[in-house]
């Protein structure tokens, strides 16, 4: 399982937005990520999250550092987020 798959699995299992530190903790505890095989877990996890946001597999939520799975069928806003119908002003 790669890092992005681990992030998606944790978010799917938890069913709610999580801070990246909580995602990391749960992925480690569940054995999705092995810190002995791949050192610098934080760097790889954050890179995978950024890749997931760019690719639309994850969305940024509030507060800062919190991520979620996109809701199926909702229109996409800027930065891969779900559009709330406002112009952002």
Q: Which domains does the chain have, with CATH numbers?
A: 3-80 (1.10.10)
Contact present, 3 and 44 (Cβ < 8 Å): yes
Q: At what angle do helices 3-14 and 20-29 cross, to 10 degrees?
A: 100
Helix and strand numbers (H, E) in the chain are 3, 3
Residue 69, SS3?
coil
Q: Which residues of 1-23 are buried (b: 16+ CB within 10 A; e: fewer)?
A: eebbebbbbbbeeeeebbebeeb
pTM of the model: 0.78
Q: Give the distance from CA 61 to its chain's centroid.
A: 10
> pLDDT tens digits, the chain, 89 residues: what are they?
999 999 999 999 999 999 999 999 999 999 999 999 988 999 999 999 999 999 999 999 999 999 999 984 444 444 444 444 443 43
């Amino acid at each position: 399982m790669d890092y992005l798959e681990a992030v998606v699995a944790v978010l799917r299992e938890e069913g709610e937005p999580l801070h990246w530190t909580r995602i990391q903790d749960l992925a480690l505890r569940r054995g999705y990520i092995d810190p002995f095989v791949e050192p610098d877990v934080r760097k790889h996890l954050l890179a995978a999250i950024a890749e997931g946001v760019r690719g639309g597999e994850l969305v940024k939520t509030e507060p800062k550092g919190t991520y979620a799975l996109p809701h199926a069928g909702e229109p996409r806003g800027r930065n891969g987020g779900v559009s709330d119908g406002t112009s952002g002003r």
